[in-house]
Amino acid sequence: MTAIQNKDEKQIIHLLNSKQTVSKQMHQTLLTFKHNYTGVLYIF
């Protein structure tokens, strides 16, 4: 969350590319977020 609050794009990308196990729903959410992350960075 702090990476988003600080608009730390490198940290956000690092977290998105991590290989942590997540649920199927969270996986889909992260795929959507990856697709739209540049827009999300400017909203926060």
User: Is the pLDDT at 42 greater than 80, yes or no?
Assistant: no
Model pLDDT for residues 1-15, shown as the tens digit of each residue: 677 788 887 887 787
H or E segment to which residue 36 belongs: helix 24-43
Closest among 24, 35, 32, 33 to 3, alpha carbons compared: 33
8 Å CB contact between 41 and 12: yes
Task: Indicate the DSSP class of residue 14.
Answer: H
Crossing angle of the two packed helices 9-16 and 24-43, in degrees rounded to 10: 170
Residue in this structure with the two tokens 């702090």, named with its chain if needed: 2
- Listed by start position, the domains of the chain span 2-43
Please state the pTM of the whole predicted model.
0.49
